[in-house]
């Protein structure tokens, strides 16, 4: 599969870089993590590592070329694979920066995790003595402007090698590892676990063992307020000695909201801990994962059934205050239900601050409605044969992943995208870009919003591969463990509300894609078929389409093709 390598973003003030030399050459085998080339900015010389395994098929930027951030510099794929003409055309048409100038557009494919700690590009190079290196909060995508320090893997005084994991950070979409660009000793941690900081904020200093970090040696991070920040960037302030560890305080609230890191919330759900009763030790009393674990350990003294713990966590009930009626005073589910109700989490007229994920969803949906003129097509699909085939294949799974209806839909959409280049396109400045690949996103509902992991080359994968991949992507989407390349670059999206009994609905097109398909429930309906009345398993699918890109007749033919593939599904199994 063709993978594009683009010039990475290295800080807020770095908009162009120069290819210093290529470590790998065309035809060389490449493993994930291998150094491809060295690039030079106005502040540092850095190595560009590969996020893919394969062969370096084409170098598109020679040594000495000065390019804007996001410029296409190389292509990786299978040995002997031909580089598509549109990729070569993209490289020829992209703006080469003869003189340093800001890039005209963001990267087409932001680099995926694990995130490398950004070098000190956003601060004054002379802020620290020679030999000391600033570690800043990395940029993880166009829509990510703040991240939370989840935990420090390395501690002050630990030896650090290049590539070592320094800490884990959490964004609204994923929990990722931050690796070191430098070798030495972790001299100073400037952002404690739980701190929510903007991209580019200074989080640590690395240097020789025993070196002293000057009091005014760089920009200390200014924690972001619990409400999501609107702009990235850290204000400069002198490095100061770490403040004494704050005593645990009751978790801060704003209108009933408990402030806790995403990882802490996930751990609380797993352990059945009510966050409202947890004392937070993060900045400003924010709850971090360690606080949840401590609370769970303390709660082990309370005898309660697993179901009672889950109900208590969902209702915000402190088990220590519940009188158990089970054997030996054990707290049962009915005891939790009968416990006095806690104060309502939301009061009339209350304004609840937006989570980072909800803010981004709101921005992108508003952008879609404001800029994409849509029309909508609906069609009924007879899923009887697909349902029978799925049942037979799952009976013969033999330890392989069982197939869902979504797997058939993803495969059918991938095949149809390949047949209709006009649908497999996206709006670009000055024209319409043909995609070439058939990447289909699958909407996954989360507590805070939704994510759309992408099944790449859905047309070329068999149903078992798709089933395995969707199960893994959905699980990691719910635990926020997706890397950016796993939720970006989709050609269309599939969203299925059939599990809730929804018959049909009109979805909203994701900006950057041409259409989105809304899938309803599969139900027995009475239909007229082959000269008689029959009961068949029917499903309604609705396609929302960007009219700038695709005309109605083309989209109707596309939808008809998807229907035909689902009503006669054998080709989906064979190819």
Q: Residue by residue, what is the 3-state secondary structure of 430-492?
A: CEEEECCCCCEEECEECCCCEECCEECCCCCCCHHHHHHHHHHHHHHHHCCECCHHHCCCCCE
State the pLDDT at residue 127: 59
Same domain assignment for residues 418 and 500:
yes
One domain, residues 502 and 399: yes
Q: d(Cα 558, Cα 543) in Å, to the nearest integer?
A: 10
Residues 494-522 pLDDT 10s: 999 998 899 999 999 999 999 999 999 99
In a domain, 102, yes or no: no
What mean pLDDT is predicted for residues 302-312? 71
Report the share of the chain in percent with pLDDT over 70.
78
pLDDT computed for residue 109 by the predictor: 41
Co-location of 36 and 146 in the same domain: no
Q: Within a 10 A sphere around the Cβ of 276, how many other Cβ atoms?
A: 18
My answer on whether 373 and 255 are in the same domain is no
In this structure, the answer to whether residues 200 and 254 fall within a common structural domain is no
Tell me what pLDDT residue 371 has: 95
Query: Is the pLDDT assigned to residue 450 strictly greater than 60?
Result: yes
Residue showing tokens 């490289």: 91
Residue that terminates a domain, selected from 44, 60, 93 = 93
Beta partners for 59?
Answer: 74
**Which residue did the predictor score with more confidence, 440 or 16?**
440
CATH number of the domain where residue 415 is located? 3.30.559.10
Decide if 112 is inside a domain.
no
Strand order in the sheet with 45-49: 45-49, 35-40, 16-22, 66-68
Q: What is the DSSP secondary-structure string of 125-157?
A: TTSS-TT-EEEEPPP-STT--EEEEEEESS-TT
Q: In the structure, what pLDDT confidence band is assigned to residue 171 with cuts at 50, 70 and 90?
A: confident
Q: What is the pLDDT of residue 42?
A: 57
Q: 520 and 449, same structural domain? A: yes
Residue 179 has pLDDT above 80, yes or no: yes
Per-residue CA distances from 24 to 44, 381, 481 (Å)? 20, 50, 30
Residues 558 and 475 in one domain: yes
pLDDT at 64 exceeding the cut of 50: yes
Mean pLDDT of 98-117: 40
**Predicted local confidence at residue 422, as pLDDT:** 96
Say what the pLDDT of residue 144 is: 67
CB within 8 Å of 411: residues ≥ 6 apart:
458, 459, 461, 463, 466, 565, 572
For residue range 263-305, list pLDDT tens digits in order.
777 777 767 677 777 888 776 677 877 788 777 756 656 777 7
Residue 498 lies in a domain: yes
**Which residues constitute the domain of residue 263?**
249-338
- Indicate whether 152 belongs to any domain: yes
Residue 304 or 528, more confident: 528
Q: What is the pLDDT at residue 146?
A: 77
Tell which wins on pLDDT, 202 or 342: 202
Are both 28 and 171 inside the same structural domain?
no
Element (DSSP H or E) covering residue 54? strand 54-59
Lowest mean pLDDT of 39-43, 58-62, 204-208, name the range.
Answer: 39-43
- Find the mean pLDDT for residues 192-219: 80
Residue 296 has what pLDDT? 72
Total tally of structural domains belonging to the chain: 4
Tell me, yes or no, whether 381 lies in a domain. Answer: yes
Q: pLDDT digit string (tens) for 563-574? A: 999 999 999 997
In a domain, 232, yes or no: no
96-100, 356-360, 366-370, 440-444: least confidently modelled range:
96-100
Final residue belonging to a domain, choices 338, 357, 376: 338
Domain-located, residue 291: yes
85, 166: one domain: no
Same domain for 460 and 409:
yes
Q: How far apart are the first and last CA of the chain?
A: 17
Helices (H), 244-347: 262-271, 289-299, 306-315, 333-338
pLDDT value, residue 238:
41
Instruction: Give counts: helices (H), strands (E), the chain.
Output: 11, 32
Q: Can you give the pLDDT at residue 561?
A: 97
Residues 6 or more apart in contact with residue 498 via CB below 8 angstroms:
405, 519, 520, 521, 522, 539
Q: What would the two tokens of residue 206 be?
A: 């690395």
Tell me the average pLDDT across 151-165: 90
Which range scores top for mean pLDDT: 229-238, 295-304, 399-408?
399-408
Specify which of 130-139, 154-163, 246-255, 414-423 reaches the highest per-range mean pLDDT.
Answer: 414-423
Examine the pLDDT at 316 and tell me if it is beyond 60. yes
Quote the crossing angle between the two packed helices 262-271 and 306-315, to the nearest 10°: 140
Which residues are annotated as catalytic?
547, 551
275-284, 354-363, 421-430 — which is least confidently predicted? 275-284
CATH of the domain at 160: 2.40.50.100
Query: Is residue 238 in some structural domain?
Result: no
Name the more confident of 428 and 256.
428
Q: Are residues 304 and 412 in the same domain?
A: no
The chain-wide mean pLDDT, for the chain, equals 80
Q: Which of 179, 207, 235 is the last residue of a domain?
A: 207
In terms of domains, do 385 and 317 share one? no
* pLDDT(140) > 50: yes
Q: What is the pLDDT of residue 141?
A: 59
Count of CB atoms within 10 A of residue 153's CB? Answer: 14
pTM above 0.85, yes or no: no
pLDDT, position 230: 35
């Amino acid at each position: 599969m063709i993978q594009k390598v683009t010039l990475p973003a290295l800080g807020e003030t770095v908009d162009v870089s120069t290819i210093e030399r290529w470590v790998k050459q065309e035809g060389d085998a490449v493993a994930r993590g291998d150094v491809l080339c060295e690039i030079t900015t106005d502040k540092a010389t850095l190595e560009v590592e590969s996020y893919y395994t394969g062969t370096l098929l084409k170098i598109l930027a020679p040594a000495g070329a000065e390019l804007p951030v996001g410029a296409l510099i190389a292509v990786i794929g299978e040995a002997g694979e031909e580089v598509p003409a549109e990729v070569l055309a993209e490289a020829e048409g992209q703006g080469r920066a003869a003189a340093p100038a800001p890039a005209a557009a963001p990267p087409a494919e932001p680099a995926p995790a694990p995130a490398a700690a950004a070098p000190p590009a956003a601060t004054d190079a002379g802020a620290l003595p020679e030999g000391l290196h600033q570690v800043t909060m990395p940029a993880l995508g166009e829509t990510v402007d703040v991240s939370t320090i989840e935990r420090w893997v390395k501690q002050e005084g630990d030896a650090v090698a290049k590539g070592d994991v320094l800490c884990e950070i959490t964004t609204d979409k994923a929990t990722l590892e931050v690796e070191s660009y430098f070798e030495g000793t972790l001299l100073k941690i400037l952002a404690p676990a739980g701190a929510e900081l903007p991209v580019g904020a200074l989080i640590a200093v690395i240097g020789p063992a025993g070196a002293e970090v000057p009091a005014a040696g760089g920009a200390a991070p200014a924690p972001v307020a619990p409400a999501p920040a609107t702009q990235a960037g850290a204000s400069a302030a002198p490095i100061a000695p770490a403040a004494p560890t704050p005593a645990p305080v009751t978790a801060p609230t704003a209108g009933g909201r408990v402030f806790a890191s995403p990882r802490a919330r996930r751990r609380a759900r797993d352990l059945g801990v009510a966050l409202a009763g947890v004392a937070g030790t993060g900045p400003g009393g924010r709850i971090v994962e360690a606080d949840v674990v401590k609370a769970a350990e303390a709660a082990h003294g309370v005898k309660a059934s697993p179901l009672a713990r889950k109900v208590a966590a969902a209702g915000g009930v402190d088990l220590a205050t519940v009188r158990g009626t089970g054997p030996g005073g054990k707290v049962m589910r009915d005891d939790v239900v009968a416990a006095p109700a806690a104060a309502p989490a939301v009061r009339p007229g209350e304004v609840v601050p937006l989570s980072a994920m909800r803010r981004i969803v709101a921005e992108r949906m508003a952008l879609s409605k404001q800029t994409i003129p849509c029309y909508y097509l609906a069609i009924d699909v007879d899923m009887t044969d697909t349902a029978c085939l799925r049942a037979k294949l799952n009976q013969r799974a033999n330890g392989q992943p069982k197939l869902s209806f979504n797997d058939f839909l993803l495969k059918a959409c991938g095949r149809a995208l390949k047949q209709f280049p006009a649908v497999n396109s996206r709006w670009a400045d000055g024209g319409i870009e043909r995609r070439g690949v058939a990447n289909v996103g699958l909407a996954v509902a989360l507590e805070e919003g939704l994510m759309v992991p992408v099944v790449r080359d859905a047309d070329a994968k068999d149903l078992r591969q798709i089933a395995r991949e969707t199960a893994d992507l959905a699980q990691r989407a719910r635990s926020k463990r997706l890397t950016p390349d796993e939720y970006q670059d989709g050609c269309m999206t599939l969203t299925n509300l059939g599990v809730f009994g929804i018959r049909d609905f009109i979805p909203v097109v994701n900006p950057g894609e041409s259409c989105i398909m809304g899938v309803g429930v599969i139900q027995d309906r009475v239909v007229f078929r082959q000269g008689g009345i029959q009961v068949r398993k029917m499903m309604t699918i609705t396609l929302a389409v960007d009219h700038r890109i695709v005309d109605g007749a083309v989209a109707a033919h596309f939808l008809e093709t998807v229907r035909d593939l689902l009503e006669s599904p054998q080709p989906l199994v064979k190819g």
